[in-house]
């Protein structure tokens, strides 16, 4: 099935791209195109114009700043995972990207496109949740920062309704004594997460977990932080994590589909959380 016809534009600045997005109904930004072009071909979404973002150099940059690292929306996943600024300190993000699709997918997919898709099974979003990243968007009213949970709640449709464009992702500086990791059970047919768990763990004292953040994807309708699980595991002995990481997600909160039941996904959350915590702790310097 071929897509309907649409106009095409390739602006060279964020301001021009934002202006184009507001000119006609159903104007969509084109990033990597990995998901959007498939949706258009199958006529799952309408588009009167595509605004190609690849000619805007500022959207491809990965720059350090006072708050951490700003990743441009058009930065490819492979570029992000290989960037020296993000090695070590953001282990969950590098882990999550490594688990996405195949080499060709990672070379084409962008971090802005990953966020805009609002897919319920999104490896990168889970990692950004535990890293407490914020998303910079630009629109007719200027620039603003949006939390990842707020962006997920509104989805790409909310950005389109406001004629806003994802410009970049601000990843905070990871404090000394904090490490993160991501563990995943993937669908063998498409590599999407049947369940994925990202964690960020504070420096352990006397063999105990300090602060901890946990996010799940694939097992729920949308990626989310498990704040109750975080409270339950904080301060617990690392050696006991496998036995303590139980019931972190209620089956009532999990999804059932042709690939896995809610009960099975809830069980996977426990298994993968223990695995991710162990991997994060292994990245911490020895307690002194």
Domain that holds residue 131: 59-172
* Residue 83, in any domain of the structure: yes
* 125 and 151 housed in the same domain: yes
> Tell me, what's the pLDDT at 2?
56
Number of domains comprising the chain: 3
Q: Is the pTM above the cut of 0.85?
A: yes
Q: What is the average per-residue pLDDT within 254-262?
A: 96
Angle at 68 between CA 64 and CA 74, to 5 degrees: 60
* Residue 24, in any domain of the structure: yes
> Tell me, what's the pLDDT at 160?
74
Positive/negative CA dihedral, 11, 15, 17, 22: negative
Sheet holding 193-202, edge to edge: 178-186, 193-202, 212-217, 224-225
Per-residue pLDDT for 288 more than 60? no
pLDDT tens track for 208-225: 998 999 999 999 999 999
Per-residue pLDDT for 130 more than 90? yes
* 132 and 199 housed in the same domain: no
| pLDDT tier at 233, thresholds 50, 70, 90 | very high
Return the structure tokens found at 133: 């990243």
* 76 and 26 housed in the same domain: no
The domain boundary residue, chosen from 113, 140, 172: 172
């Amino acid at each position: 099935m071929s897509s309907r016809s649409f106009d095409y534009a390739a602006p060279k600045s964020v301001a021009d791209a934002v202006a184009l997005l507001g000119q006609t109904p159903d104007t969509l930004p084109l990033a990597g195109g990995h998901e959007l072009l498939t949706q258009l071909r199958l006529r799952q979404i309408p588009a009167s114009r595509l605004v190609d973002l690849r000619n805007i150099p500022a959207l491809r940059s990965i720059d350090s700043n006072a708050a951490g690292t700003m990743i441009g929306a058009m930065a490819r996943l492979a570029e992000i995972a290989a960037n020296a600024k993000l090695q070590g300190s953001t282990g969950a993000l590098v882990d999550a990207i490594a688990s996405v699709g195949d080499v060709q997918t990672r070379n084409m997919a962008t971090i802005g496109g990953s966020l805009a898709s609002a897919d319920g099974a999104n490896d990168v979003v889970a990692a950004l949740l535990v890293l407490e990243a914020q998303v910079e968007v630009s629109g007719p009213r200027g620039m603003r920062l949006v939390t990842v949970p707020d962006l997920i709640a509104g989805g790409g449709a909310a950005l389109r309704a406001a004629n806003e464009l994802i410009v970049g992702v601000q990843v905070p500086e990871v404090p000394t004594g904090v490490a993160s990791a991501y563990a995943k059970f993937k669908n063998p047919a498409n590599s999407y997460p049947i369940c994925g768990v990202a964690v960020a763990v504070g420096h352990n004292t006397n063999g105990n977990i300090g602060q901890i953040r946990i996010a799940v994807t694939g097992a729920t309708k949308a990626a989310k932080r498990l704040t109750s699980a975080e409270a339950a595991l904080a301060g617990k002995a690392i050696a006991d994590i496998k036995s303590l990481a139980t019931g972190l997600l209620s089956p009532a909160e999990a999804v059932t589909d042709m690939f896995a039941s809610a009960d099975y996904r809830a069980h996977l959350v426990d298994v993968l959380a223990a695995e991710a915590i162990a991997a994060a702790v292994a990245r911490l310097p020895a307690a002194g």
